[in-house]
Amino acid sequence: MARSTTAPSEPLGSLTQPGARSGAACRMCASERVTRISMELTDGTAVDFTHCLECEHRTWAQGEDLLSVEHVLVKAQRRR
């Protein structure tokens, strides 16, 4: 099974570094205290997971489209 060798689009680093969270905000309360992780699901779909540290709201997005948790779980399943 081959693995993707694509370089990350953003430099990796600690979330505690200045500017590490810039540009991300909670869609529910607009707080900038969020953790945002970009990843590729099992089916190859690129998604962004955002978790708000203020209101605990969580979102999965593909570009500007919000995805339900159920939709993400289906896309993340391994095919046999």
Per-residue pLDDT, 68: 95
CB 72 within 8 A of CB 41: yes
Q: For residue range 28-64, what is the model confidence (pLDDT) as tens digits?
A: 999 989 998 999 999 999 999 999 999 999 999 998 9
C-alpha distances out from residue 10 to 3, 6, 17, 31, Å: 19, 12, 14, 22
C-alpha distances out from residue 51 to 3, 21, 28, 37, Å: 27, 12, 11, 9
DSSP-H helix ranges across the chain: 69-76
Per-residue pLDDT, 60: 95
Domain ranges of the chain: 34-76
